[in-house]
Structure 1
Amino acid sequence: MTDIYDLLLRLGVTANYIGFFHTAFAVHLAIQEPERLLLVTKCLYPEVAGQYQTNWSCVERNIRMIAEIAWNRGRPFLEELARRPLMDRPKASEFLAILAAYLLPRQYGDT
């Protein structure tokens, strides 16, 4: 989780947002099982919601807020992570996919 926290901090997102922890846990789950990204509203968000005793729509909203902050404060680095220019702010699920895709190879030692 430390790598995920560091990545969010580099994007300009601080831990004073509950979405910081929702995002970090969602990325952690996506790294463990990337297929979760295929069904974020049915699999990923409810699992995060259960961990934090809330509902999936709050999780999605909080992750969307974190994506907005990263877009406003860390757009050049976010585009570096995405490996392409981003024309619009990524949706919550796209944001999670970008972070997970960046961290996944590092998780397994492939850089």
Structure 2
Amino acid sequence: MGGLSMADRKLQALIAGGSRDYILSIKRNLEQMSAFGRCAIAYSGYEALDKFNSLCPDLLVTDIILRGLDGLSLLEKIQGSDCAKNCKILICTSANTDSIVRKVFDYGADFFLIKPFSDEVLHETVRGLLHLDGAQGGYLDGGLESRIMGVILRIGLPPGSKGYHYSQYAIKRLVEDRSLMEQITTKLYPEIAEKYGSTVGRVERNIRHAIETAWNKGDLEYIQQLFGYTVDEEKGKPTNAAFLATVVNYIQLSMYRVN
């Protein structure tokens, strides 16, 4: 939306999804935040596209599964538009495959959340995306490696293992260069393999083993808080890309300077 700055007006959000309960829950939670006015909703992809182009919202929250036009196709259609230039895009999905993670960022999303997630996780994510409550655009000086170490140790990645070191390096590089999210297997893994004198296959397997160890022996309450879904055998463990992307999201949001 043009005109007044974010600090001088209520923010506009557009929420798109196939479930009425899901949409109204997101709407209610955003409207509880003082920065937002009334939020617009859409129950299909084409309705979301029309409202996006007419409202030019500050925030688009969309599921991938939408009637008529799916969420990724919606992002593809709005990518590069004038409205998209000043809009933060948050994808909410229950899918966590490597291909979905790559497509989400390739099509212009800023962050994604794996459903279901808590109100607190949603609020923290939105505050970070829109630099609310005193958050500034820059990151806190220094401390990136220690923050990464603190998070992955608490998750339960075995310290000293190859998977731990590979994951730590991968997360740092993804924070520094978000475009690598679309090139995890083609560029990031080879970079790690070269740095540590390993192979791409071993890098992938060692990160996988570290994740599986964490899910079996780590802090499940913390894991559930971070990843937004109940940790059990039926849900399974996130893919390498989904794991790395979720931790990167958390690190980036937590490192905005808050006065």
Superposed, 1:38-57 pairs within 5 Å as: 38-57=182-201
What corresponds to 2:210 in structure 1? 66
**Contact 2:148–2:168 (8 Å) recurs in 1:** yes
What corresponds to 2:131 in structure 1? none
The TM-score normalised by the length of structure 2 is 0.40
Q: Which is greater in Rg?
A: 2
Q: Give 3-state SS (helix, strand or coil) of 1:109's partner.
A: strand
Count of residue pairs brought into register by the alignment: 110
Aligned partners of 1:75 and 1:93: how far apart in 2?
19
Deviation readout 1:64-106 (Å, 9 max, x if unpaired) = 1111122112332122112344521011111111111110122
Aligned partners of 2:179 and 2:229: how far apart in 1?
22
Aligned partners of 2:228 and 2:146: how far apart in 1?
22
Aligned partners of 1:18 and 1:102: how far apart in 2?
22
Structure 1 residues 106 and 17 mapped into 2: Cα distance closer, same or farther (>3 Å)? Answer: same
**Contact 2:208–2:240 (8 Å) recurs in 1:** yes
Identity %: 27
Larger mean CA deviation between 70-79 and 60-69 belongs to 70-79
Larger mean CA deviation between 29-38 and 77-86 belongs to 77-86
Aligned partners of 2:226 and 2:158: how far apart in 1?
18
Aligned partners of 2:158 and 2:204: how far apart in 1?
18
Note if 1:25 corresponds to 2:144. no
In the alignment, structure 1 segments of 5+ residues that lack a partner are none
In the alignment, structure 2 segments of 5+ residues that lack a partner are 1-144
Higher normalized contact order (CA 8 Å, seq sep 6+, divided by chain length): 1
- Look up the equivalent residue of 1:56 and give its one-letter code: V
Aligned partners of 1:78 and 1:6: how far apart in 2?
13
What corresponds to 2:236 in structure 1? 88
Aligned partners of 1:79 and 1:97: how far apart in 2?
15
Larger mean CA deviation between 75-84 and 96-105 belongs to 75-84
Note if 1:3 corresponds to 2:147. yes
What corresponds to 2:252 in structure 1? 104
- Look up the equivalent residue of 2:148 and give its one-letter code: I
Task: Report which of the two has the higher share of helix.
Answer: 1
Q: Give 4+ residue runs of structure 1 displaced > 4 Å after superposition.
A: none
